[in-house]
Amino acid sequence: MTATGRHQGMTALVTGGSRGIGRAVSRRLARDGALVAVHYGHDEAAADRTVKEIETDGGRAFAIHAELGVRADAATLWSAFDRELATHAPDTEPGLDILVNNAGITLPRTIEHVTEEDYDRVFAINTKAPFFILQQGLRRLRDGGRIINISSAATRFAYPGIIAYSMTKAALDHLTLSLALELAPRNITVNTVAPGFTETEINPTLKNPQIRQALSAHSAFGRLGRPADIADVVAFVASEDARWVTGQWLDATGGVGLGL
DSSP of 195-240? E-SB-STT-GGGGSHHHHHHHHTTSTTSS-B-HHHHHHHHHHHTSG
Instruction: Give whole-number Cα distances, 239 to 6, 65, 244, 249, in Å.
Output: 7, 26, 11, 16
Residue 143 C-beta-side C-alpha neighbours within 13 Å: 3
Of the candidates 82, 80, 78, 100, which has an alpha carbon nearest to the alpha carbon of residue 92? 82
Instruction: Give whole-number Cα distances, 182 to 119, 127, 177, in Å.
Output: 29, 19, 9
Active-site residue, from 40, 119, 159, 165: 165
- How many angstroms separate the CA atoms of 217 and 101, rounded? 28
- How many angstroms separate the CA atoms of 215 and 207, rounded? 12
CA dihedral 249, 253, 254, 260 (to 10 degrees): -90
- How many angstroms separate the CA atoms of 46 and 231, rounded? 18
Residues facing 190 on adjacent strands: 147
Cβ 161 vs Cβ 116: under 8 Å? no
Phi-psi region of 72 (alpha: psi -120 to 50; beta: other; left: phi over 0): left
Query: Is 165 tagged catalytic?
Result: yes
Give the catalytic positions in this structure: 165
